[in-house]
Amino acid sequence: MSKNLTSRAEDYSKWYNELVVKADLAENSAVRGCMVIKPYGYAIWEKMQAELDRMFKETGHQNAYFPLFVPKSLFEAEEKNAEGFAKECAVVTHYRLQNDPDNPGKLRVDPEAKLEEELVVRPTSEAIIWSTYKGWIQSYRDLPILINQWANVVRWEMRTRLFLRTAEFLWQEGHTAHETRSEALAEAQLMNQVYADFAENFMAIPVIQGVKTESERFAGAEETYCIEALMQDGKALQAGTSHFLGQNFAKAFDVKFTNNEGKLDYVWATSWGVSTRLVGALIMTHSDDKGLVLPPNLAPIQVVIVPIHKTDEQLKQIGDVAKNLITEFKSKGISCKYDDRTTQRPGAKFAQYELQGVPLRIAIGPKDLENKTVELARRDTLSKENVALDGLADKIDGLLKEIQDTLFKKALDFRNSHLTKVDTFEEFKTVLNSKTGFISAHWDGSPETEDKIKELTKATIRCVPLDQEKEAGACVFTGKPSVGRVLFAKAY
Amino acid sequence: MSKNLTSRAEDYSKWYNELVVKADLAENSAVRGCMVIKPYGYAIWEKMQAELDRMFKETGHQNAYFPLFVPKSLFEAEEKNAEGFAKECAVVTHYRLQNDPDNPGKLRVDPEAKLEEELVVRPTSEAIIWSTYKGWIQSYRDLPILINQWANVVRWEMRTRLFLRTAEFLWQEGHTAHETRSEALAEAQLMNQVYADFAENFMAIPVIQGVKTESERFAGAEETYCIEALMQDGKALQAGTSHFLGQNFAKAFDVKFTNNEGKLDYVWATSWGVSTRLVGALIMTHSDDKGLVLPPNLAPIQVVIVPIHKTDEQLKQIGDVAKNLITEFKSKGISCKYDDRTTQRPGAKFAQYELQGVPLRIAIGPKDLENKTVELARRDTLSKENVALDGLADKIDGLLKEIQDTLFKKALDFRNSHLTKVDTFEEFKTVLNSKTGFISAHWDGSPETEDKIKELTKATIRCVPLDQEKEAGACVFTGKPSVGRVLFAKAY
């Protein structure tokens, strides 16, 4: 397989798929719509998990684990208040395989081993968790409950793409229970802010915080907060959501508590989640035609050292230099790999690490040994320079921070230059068909208009920005009055 | 619900179940055989995970993620070399629910949405992983593959018990691929050693390393290494296994590689795993009639501080002392909780932390403020002393290490005093019926004898110890010759 990728200009979608596979991030599996996350891709997810987990715990949350399966009847309870609930899910109906009497060597489902009640593989865990919380909550003293779960979930998607949309994916789902409306609302907002901070400071992805319109809201939510990012092809990607669920789930599962005035009331709820989809967002925000570009804060390997030698003696000397550097790097919390494989030429290694987005590459050759220098290459700018060994760790420490900032600023510039205010529907369509990106426009607030625009342009309302300016205007489609602009885009 | 537990002497099994629920570790869920792991129980599992993950990475392993589902046909491939493979598993046959036309408000499986091939929820991942490795391995340059996965698995168990045996459980499963038999064998042995080190140094559980007899071996394994622990009721518990799989899975999934002499050969394999069952082992090794006893290395909270006050002013002063202590503890890596809830009396807090096994409890009252002292209580010995504030952090640091050692030694003494050499079948039965524990006895090496002993006594061969002494003897049951003693026990 050629190491060269299809260019983004030629075919963005093909570029993405090739990059994911060639950079060893993930691949399709023998199971329709399910992916194998390979070690390098999983290492990025682990770095995301570690940081998010830290942020969740810092804001008072604890982890727990709830069953993979949800009895069908619990979905029925939920169904009553969430009409639009997705029903495309994996259903377990039997609990045994047996040797097939008609086909030696084959297995079949044992028809005798039928479950009395079918079990759904969780597409999300509100139902099983709220049926559990019912047993945990009697009084206001039992509140708040601030729980997060790291888990796999399954949604039977018809069209799947590695990381972006897969039948099974990994995610975290927070599920909290509160005494009051305002406390639950504040929690939903706080967690959306946590997601925004994580996206911007760790993933170097600028995001717009907003709320979803009614038709884009999570079924059962009273308000869905979200962070919306812009990919390099001008399409938006919802990177995380945080739902204020009101008392809907408490009512569906009959979860009441005695408040501090001694009165019974339903509990207030939130839920919030991000998934392995974030890896897709990371790739599509920063990478280029040479491959992955990773922000240093999430790079499994921040610096790679490649020896360039002709003799074993040279390799030994370079190895000594590398060893010292790694010790120095380690003391500064910089992760470094020394690649002294002799089965690969330096050129092949350079290509591999470029493809895999390692932020900094150090090459050390015989000349460098003499001059006490190294060749230092930046992945993001593809620039190279000769640098003194002396003080290298400090320089690298600074460079990693600079790269992190540069990537964020570059993505922010791109996003800002692809956010266009339009005031007519002609303009709206022209922008969508040329540079795409976010379109900031007035909307009359009706689902009918929203649907019609979607039908005509494939653009949806990504969010009503939290920092929306109050500005009287006329809906870009109907001309009816509007109080402020919302953001439209084509989306993943 | 009373806080008092049934005593171990009265009913060990009931004591265990009550402890798990009352100490807030886990509970049964709405799904048959599946448990909810509550935050406190999950925090213990997280500490186990963190340490094991560190040990796996230190020995060169990387994490990855493979699909939850295994197509039935992959099981058929495996089935050919693993006759005894468990077929009690959750089977997904459909991918959609729909509103039931005959029962308004109810859902049913959409009969049109039947899968062409049934999907099994993984009971273990050899099949899906080896079908994937086939695409990754062409040459010896692609080996070894050293991968671990943290995942949930499902086995349709009929009789379940919290942590010890549940339909769904959490575990890690390592799956490695090697060029040579000796390398794979060494890997299987290394990982069993990692498990033994973890059990002894972190869980404070003494274990015996050994190999399983043929009938107790994992289906498809050529050798199963294991660590066996002894619980307080004298029953053994298999705490971890590491399998040398030979070329069985490579043959089942046709995974060949070109070796460095240019010849094609099948790949050599291992797999190894430990699960949330370890939490059950931890509980049953150390805990007492008052509740959980946790080794400090795995305690989510190592020290708790409880204020004893009459006035708000006292509470404020105690709070200041506690704050300073926590800062000092933190700098030494000691985790500490300050419980200043005013909804609970100190006595209730003492009982709670005793039940939850917090290794050290500090109480601070008005007298302590005057004298610059605290009351320090040890959970393992239930002893109390007054201690000077000055130098407290150092004292606690030392005490935590002492408690860790004490728990291990206590468990080791118990294990050693419950490991009995017997040379007649009468003795064998007497020991089993009195103090139980491990029985070290000669065995003629035949599965028939093993079966017969199991049938008559319910004791199984837990392992052939790795440090088995060569000692000519006569089988305790048949009198036939034996080359060394093996370990029998009743087991979980």
pLDDT band at A219 (very low <50, low <70, confident <90, very high): confident
Asked whether residue B83 carries a pLDDT value surpassing 60, the answer given is no
Structure confidence by residue, pLDDT tens digits, B14-43: 999 999 999 999 999 999 999 999 999 999
Please compute the mean of the pLDDT values over residues A308-332 and round it to a whole number: 96
Structural contact between residues A224 and A273, judged by C-beta atoms closer than 8 angstroms:
no
Q: Is the peptide bond before B144 cis (omega within 30 degrees of 0)?
A: yes
Asked if B141's CB is within 8 angstroms of A343's CB, the reply is yes
Residues of A in contact with B29 (CB under 8 A): 66-67, 128, 132
Structural contact between residues A460 and A484, judged by C-beta atoms closer than 8 angstroms:
no
Asked whether residue B396 carries a pLDDT value surpassing 80, the answer given is yes
What CATH class has A419-489?
Answer: alpha beta
Structural contact between residues A329 and A303, judged by C-beta atoms closer than 8 angstroms:
yes
Asked if B168's CB is within 8 angstroms of A69's CB, the reply is yes
Please compute the mean of the pLDDT values over residues A304-316 and round it to a whole number: 96
Exposure letters A389-419 (e unless 16+ CB within 10 A, then b): beebbeebbebbeebbebbbebbeebbeebe
* Residue A30, pLDDT score: 93
DSSP B429-491: HHHHHTT-SEEEEE--S-HHHHHHHHHHHS-EEEEEETTPPP--EE-TTT--EESSEEEEE-B
Residues of B in contact with A64 (CB under 8 A): 36-39, 42
User: Percent of chain B beyond pLDDT 70?
Assistant: 98
* Residue B351, pLDDT score: 96
Asked if B156's CB is within 8 angstroms of A36's CB, the reply is no
Residues of A in contact with B121 (CB under 8 A): 68, 92, 121
Cβ–Cβ pairs < 8 A, chains A and B: 186
A470 exposed, middle or buried (CB, 10 Å; 0-12, 13-18, 19+)? exposed
What CATH class has B12-68+77-83+124-286?
Answer: alpha beta
pLDDT band at A82 (very low <50, low <70, confident <90, very high): low
- Residue to mutate among B69, B108, B138, B254, with most A CBs inside 10 A, is B69
Residue A251: closest CA among A73, A78, A76, A66: A78
Q: Which CATH architecture has domain A12-286?
A: 2-Layer Sandwich (3.30)
Asked whether residue B86 carries a pLDDT value surpassing 80, the answer given is no
* Residue A207, pLDDT score: 98
Mean pLDDT over all residues of chain B?
95
* Residue A458, pLDDT score: 95
Asked whether residue A190 carries a pLDDT value surpassing 60, the answer given is yes
User: Percent of chain B beyond pLDDT 90?
Assistant: 92
Across the interface, which of A37, A90, A93 has its CB nearest the CB of B65? A37
Q: Give the span between the Cα atoms of A371 and A375, in whole angstroms.
A: 11
Count CA within 13 A, CB hemisphere, residue A452.
12
Residues of A in contact with B179 (CB under 8 A): none
Q: Give the span between the Cα atoms of B123 and B86, in whole angstroms.
A: 8
Structure confidence by residue, pLDDT tens digits, A360-411: 999 999 999 999 999 999 999 999 999 999 999 999 999 999 999 999 999 9
Q: Any chain A CB within 8 A of the CB of B30?
A: yes
- Residue to mutate among A97, A134, A139, with most B CBs inside 10 A, is A97
ipTM of the shown complex: 0.96
Asked if B80's CB is within 8 angstroms of A97's CB, the reply is no
Asked whether residue A160 carries a pLDDT value surpassing 60, the answer given is yes
Q: Tell me, what amino acid is at B175?
A: H
Tell me how crowded residue A117 is: count the other CB atoms within 10 A of its CB: 11
A73 backbone dihedrals φ, ψ, rounded to 5°? -60, -30
pLDDT: is A373 or A157 the higher one?
A373
Mean pLDDT over all residues of chain A?
95
Residues of A in contact with B27 (CB under 8 A): 135
Across the interface, which of A67, A75, A89 has its CB nearest the CB of B168? A67
* Residue A157, pLDDT score: 87
Asked if B76's CB is within 8 angstroms of A106's CB, the reply is yes
Structure tokens at A375: 């060749």
Tokens 């890896």 correspond to A279
Structural contact between residues B280 and B41, judged by C-beta atoms closer than 8 angstroms:
no
Please compute the mean of the pLDDT values over residues B217-237 and round it to a whole number: 96
Q: Which of residues 118-147 of A touch B (CB under 8 A)?
A: 118-121, 128, 131-132, 135, 141, 147
Say whether domain B301-399 belongs to CATH 3.30.70.1150: no
Residue A357: closest CA among A209, A211, A203, A470: A203
Q: Which long-range contacts (CB under 8 A, 24 or more apart) does A163-166 make?
A: A163/A20, A163/A25, A163/A26, A163/A35, A163/A41, A163/A276, A163/A277, A163/A279, A163/A280, A163/A283, A164/A237, A164/A277, A164/A280, A164/A492, A165/A277, A165/A492, A166/A33, A166/A34, A166/A35, A166/A276
pLDDT band at A1 (very low <50, low <70, confident <90, very high): very low
Across the interface, which of B46, B119, B343 has its CB nearest the CB of A63? B46
- Residue to mutate among A22, A36, A70, with most B CBs inside 10 A, is A36
Q: Which of residues 82-101 of A touch B (CB under 8 A)?
A: 87-98
* Residue B436, pLDDT score: 86
Lowest mean pLDDT of A173-182, A215-224, A276-285, name the range.
A215-224
Structure confidence by residue, pLDDT tens digits, B437-470: 999 999 999 999 999 999 999 999 999 999 999 9
Please compute the mean of the pLDDT values over residues A23-34 and round it to a whole number: 96
Structure confidence by residue, pLDDT tens digits, B303-358: 999 999 999 999 999 999 999 999 999 999 999 999 999 989 999 999 999 999 99
Across the interface, which of A69, A79, A97 has its CB nearest the CB of B31? A69
Q: Which of residues 329-358 of A touch B (CB under 8 A)?
A: 343
* Residue B1, pLDDT score: 45
Q: Tell me, what amino acid is at A259?
A: N
Across the interface, which of A34, A65, A154 has its CB nearest the CB of B37? A65
* Residue B455, pLDDT score: 97
Structure tokens at A71: 């009895």
Structure confidence by residue, pLDDT tens digits, B475-489: 999 999 999 999 999
Distance from CA of A122 to the nearest CA of B (A): 12
DSSP B148-198: EEEEEEE---SS-BTTTB-SEEEEEEEEEEESSHHHHHHHHHHHHHHHHHH
**Is residue B147 within a helix (H) or strand (E), and if so which, with residue range?**
strand B145-154
Residue B208: closest CA among B236, B174, B173, B170: B236
* Residue A343, pLDDT score: 86
Distance from CA of A242 to the nearest CA of B (A): 21
pLDDT band at B76 (very low <50, low <70, confident <90, very high): confident
Please compute the mean of the pLDDT values over residues B191-214 and round it to a whole number: 98
Structure tokens at A350: 């350079």
Residues of B in contact with A76 (CB under 8 A): 105-107
What CATH class has A296-406?
Answer: alpha beta
Residues of A in contact with B156 (CB under 8 A): 95-96
Q: Any chain A CB within 8 A of the CB of B1?
A: no
Please compute the mean of the pLDDT values over residues B144-173 and round it to a whole number: 96
Residue A28: closest CA among A168, A178, A148: A168
Please compute the mean of the pLDDT values over residues A104-118 and round it to a whole number: 93
Which residues lie closer than 8 Å to A284 by C-beta, 6 or more apart?
A16, A231, A232, A233, A237
Nearest residue in chain A measured CA to CA from B158: A95
Q: Where are the domains of chain B?
A: 12-68+77-83+124-286, 301-399, 419-489
Residues of A in contact with B94 (CB under 8 A): 90-91, 93
Tokens 């190895």 correspond to A319
